[in-house]
Structure 1
Amino acid sequence: MYTIAEFTSRWQRLHHPSMNVDGDVVFFYEIYVRLHRLAEQYAAGFDEQFILSLLLYTENTIAVGLDGVYEYRYRSVGDVVFRWCESLDMGADATSQVDSLVSEAVSRAGCSALRQWMTECVLSGDFSRISGMMAWFPCEDPVMWHIFPDLRFREVMFRRLTGDWQTARQMLWADLAFNWRDKRGYSLADTLSKQFRYEVSFAEGKEKDRLKEAAESLDAIRSERLDTYTVIGRKDGRTLTLLHRDGREFRDVIFPAPVSENVQSRPLAAQLVTYNDKTYINGSAVWLNKEALPVWNGETNWSDILKKEQDAAKLTFFTTMFGKRLSLYEDLYTVPEDPEEACYADMGIYFDEPNIFDFLGCMKPEN
């Protein structure tokens, strides 16, 4: 078991370098110690990282409940606490104790360093900060890893475009942070905005106002997935006007690094994000030669990638907690046709499996 000093150091390393965990590290150390003791008593075997994984889920739930949204929306994620206990071969009583501990932590948590950091990033007006925060979740959140499609096809595209894996991975995280949408059609920014608005009802004073403002800023984000553009104007070393291949013009696009003067009419491939009424290059921009421009068709490339991702999902299967076998395609891409059933499914209640209505001995809601 870690000492408080060891835990603080490890806890900080598990978070974004720009986030300060001091505000609630003592609170999470207390939860860590209690989880550790339960694992020592009931688990068949475990390591420190496994304890920390559930602690990170608890922190996420306290901060904005992002993992909880996807935990209900996707059956392949399942009940995180139950699966955690199951993987440690814990019995029903131990699982109940762990679940109660997590619920207690969520209910009595005070400030949230994670939520404070997220809010500060959104309200900073600094695109590098908000993009770093947004990319942190798809890059580091295990729950989100479960709900993404097979990312190999996107990685290959970015790799061919950039020429190296490190830059390709950065572009992949940037793509997932702003362009990926869940099966209900919501981007990560959409979902975070909704969760911030939900937290407003529990906040007071300045925090309430800041959460509202952050939600509004997230609502205003607009993104363009990777495609090709041509430089048609230059305001200064980092601000260019770009013409999309479909004829749309993006004025005063801000680049992350200075650009040479001789870029007029040069083609490039990039992702764009509009935030706080300014448009930025999201991730890296890749300069293309004029021969590659007509060959690199964004619409065709993305259609091909999305089809490959869906085809791969159709060949992958998982079993739900209640023993139902589903394809990953059903989970990642489909929602019940009936609006009421779809609404309940978003709360983790599925009519084709045992649910709370069965447990209570009630009839399923009538249409």
Structure 2
Amino acid sequence: MRDRVGADIHLLVTTERTGGGGRSYQMQFIGQGTFADLTETLTYASSSTDTENERRAGYTRLIEQGLFRFLLRTRLADRLDVIVEENGDEDEEPRAPEDDPWNFWVFNVGVDGSYEAESSRDRYEIETDLSANRVTEEWKIQFFGGMEFSEANFDVDEGTITNRQRNGRIFGTVVNSLSDHWSAGFTTFSNTSTRSNTDFSASISPTVEYNVFPYSESSTRAILFRYEMNFRYFDYDELTIFEKTEEQVIQHQLSVRADFEQPWGSARVRLTGEQFITDYSDTMFDLYNVRLSGFLYFRLLRGLTLDVGGEISSINDQIFLPAEDASDTDVLLGRRSLPTDFEYDISMGFSYRFGSIFNNVVNPRFDF
């Protein structure tokens, strides 16, 4: 079917990541036309260790189950049979959450490496990561750490130019579910970055969040208000524009986020304001950053869709900038962040699909 308007049933699928690293698929079967009075919502959760084929089999079975009520309204109703497959596990006792030897904890360790070369250049990159998560209805605990190191060498007339960059980070979140609409907790963050002139930084941020809609509806709609108070420490690679090699600062942040996944399309908007409130040299209170980002995918007419996305920022908080000017090599290789008052990007496009609504043929030839 080319467009939802001509369909008897609109299947709206939304996904969310589970605490175990898998995906939760929520499928809404929305009746249209002669089925306008019928709706059905089913959920399927895949495991993080499932293969693509296992995930496909899981949500295909869910689609079959969701269509059953609708088929009862058709001429096929008299030809339907219910068959329960035997899997040999009927005699086994189902495992309850309290039997979990890991107590809901899920861990992941990864190492990646790559190398590429040409006659006059070569590049290698090494990346490691570690995560630990425990997610229940009452508590959400997540920790992640990763380190990236890359080196690229370029042969030019004057010799060889080497570009080395490092980027490491540790992130943690502890959140308590206070009610259907309120959450509270804290986040921690630590990083090292050549580009940001940061040898080491660390922060801890008490946070409170309010959701206009119940959190149980977050896969289809959410309007979130979040406030954070950030206590941060910086140790810089080089002397900064404020003549600092290290410092402790306080920053607060207010953000508003709206997410909608509906039959007409999807929309995501986020507005964030940050401000340093530690006053030194009568300048820190004026340092701020305001960002607005959004994405809209909207079905205008039958077969006609509009997608718009972008982000714009007003920047006045680059306290990490080195006092020494960046060299031409640093600029060209992207090794240094540069001073700027703003940053923006925007994208927009239309798509119109028309033609036969009966062409469901699959032909995989020449699909590389």
Provide the TM-score with structure 2 as the length reference: 0.20
Could you say which structure has the larger radius of gyration? 2
Provide the TM-score with structure 1 as the length reference: 0.20
Query: Going by fraction, where is helix more abundant, 1 or 2?
Result: 1
